[in-house]
Structure 1
């Protein structure tokens, strides 16, 4: 056998041995580190749901792989289904850990308190039990729009079945008092529809003050056998006028994925092939509902009524509590509870005798979900006979009880000592002595300024002369900056490419605008497409020829925002649509395409 054959066999054997060693080493490197006994933890997405809603139960196993899934027993009043498993690997500081997650859906069928777990998991060597989780299921509320016996506001029906996308307004009652803050829940129900760009709902009601009351909450509900993803927007309504009103509809804007039909010469069975999907803006509206606002009763209204409507508690603190007569004391009044804090006035001091009282100042308003209002008031005790402050009183109307109530704070003990200078003391002078007479001394006070003359100012004592020395230094730094900037612009760094691309795109965009003014829309769109392609190619060092909307896959690594990637993809898709369908774009479509290109050139 020739020698070169032995050399080839030897090289191939060495290559196989090297690849085997490398593969074994990699396997050892990525094996999970032994972290001792594995752990398991059970968590639930929502601890409180209503009948018909669905939540998710997750069992997470860390640093171990069970030989069998956990044993999940069905609970009366609940329906538990397996959603599958997921696995995660993490490498932190060279330490590798893994986790398995078992996911289950929990559907509430009956109200009550439920305890899920503990669940048992076993491996080949050990057995572990998870913790328990508690689930509270509340009864399903009835018609929530405030009109007895009707469907909840915003729940349209089609042949006895709910639509895929609708808006519903829930209010606890349909009769409130003037100034009462009514909690409102606006719920967006989403079925099997891709929805995005959901805005906060608005309610046009001039007789009420509509305000947000927290962050939206997502839930899952089953209605008439259909699953919905529900987004609940908490809000409040405060009545500013009495009477019977028809409120609504509440409005919400979002974008829904819809199918558009392209022009095709083929029969209908090719529709799915030639169809395209895009997000279209949609404005949802709820049903209207009746609400009656009644005035506050005049009978039993206290003279110091604060204007607050709700349920409040009052506490008072003073600092300092040991003072001299005439020294100020700052009293902090804290009002907590639920209600209309905006109309709340400061609490009143019940026993004001012996104090000089200043007006109370509001520090926090109690709006935006704070549910607290803080006032500060300055008091000055006039004599040492004062031994306490208060109590303070806050009169308000309780809409639940339907009557006026008064919240009182505890009296604050106060120690007042006599002042350093007793009140009423007058200054006196010793009799028999007049004002001293002053004569002329060595350096006496001049009665007249004398003769004045202008002092000469030489140029080197002027401020401008010393500032002039900085001029050569400024010229030097300006020239240095200009040289470095020109060198940077001529280089191939990402910053230089971005500056060059922006400058070139701006110049060409002005020329393209002239085409649009002449009425040459098709040439304008072609020129705009060329500008965007060459801008992206120059800035991100990509080939501009043949660039399509798929370029976003390459631009994701450049750190672009989701909005920028969306604009780039929409621009190329719109251009391809007008280019290959032959349809002449309308004026608003050209303007939208121009605005999209402007955003790409500004932030792409």
Structure 2
């Protein structure tokens, strides 16, 4: 037993002596492995992480309609490098507009990545195939070539000038195959008739169609068409409605204008445009790639054939072209005394540019004296057209008593609905004038003579005036205030005569009366309520119309410049007037609070300067 115990103890001792050597070797091996791994990682970190340069080109769509915009983008990806911006070559039959550039940086898994992008809006002007050649991009001095792309341009029923046919579906389907040929946004423009006579009303309608699921954060920029050769009136308000077109629901905004050609010939209404800016929120979430349709929308131009008015014309033709025109004549009372005045009201109403019509001054005959009192006009939309009225009031004073009569009136005009000249007539108006009061009765009336009554029998002595009775100061001619009062009386009479004469002169000269009140009326329009651009435009147009005795609605920008130039207004002031009026038009579609407040101050200053120059 002792021997067995001794041998087992010796084995344990040997094991204990060898175990420390094995542990030391294992530790050395682990340390060596850790050093090798650390060196390997250090080498990896020491090598700069770069990405390979890639240059690509993308086209929003390989197919487009004439006048629609397609986005072309060139993208360079890789590490942050020195890049020369690419230049797009000229493309025959295509207009190219720069749409901006963007850049993005990222660092993922130790690798840096940069992305640069340049975009253009391509607007084809004719049908056919457009070859977009390769574009050279220089990165760190090395040239890279993009791939060539082809754009097919067609003219379809879904062109910007013709809305697609409305579908019968009541819902908005999610199937991407539905309505693939209808863009997310497009515009239309049409006229109710393309052959008219000079002065005949033409209704121009512009429509903006936007897919209802398109982001509402977009703020489109609208540019109205140019209508040279036409007098244009807005027909507010804008109409908003929804319509399903080929199983897709669209939000539709329509803007209407009333156009009146001022000359004969082929007059062109230029294209209207709507620019859809990039959606910043959609770009952040990378959703722009799903948007269909162009970013710049254009309509086709429209040509209107304008014929001259037929001949021969009536000798008293007024020049008014309208529809359903009526003439009314009325007075405020039918019985009055000789020397009193009544108000004679003449009103012209119809569909067309009636507020610019001129009503001739009537001749009531030698039995009356007539003076123009007031005149005015108003117009507005009515049943999709512009309808207006022109009213003139006269002060009529009968010069003799008896049963008198204001004559019947006639107005010659051209009826555009019947394509012939017509006459509007009124009935004569009977008036009864009573004679004025006779001469004043005599101060002495006749009657029985009365006897002189004896009151007393006595001698009345003449007594001298006492001192207290002389305190009144003597005769009136020696008083201090007598001559002042005597001189003030004729001065007051002269001033009253001048005021009365001026009033009669103003009644007889309505042009001068309008010019005198022009600035006050303009300031009242500026202080009125409503949109600032409409107030400023109405104030300036009304001021110039009153100063030069014109109809405010008949003043066009070029005519305003000609009138001011003829009146020797400085060129700087003429340009400032034109600039302010154009600024009002711009504010209609891009309102700005700060710009509106400064516009009011500029308008007041401009009116004061014009008043000073015109009165000089």
TM-score, scaled relative to structure 2:
0.39
Larger relative contact order (Cα-Cα within 8 Å, sequence gap ≥ 6)? 2
TM-score, scaled relative to structure 1:
0.40
Larger radius of gyration: 2
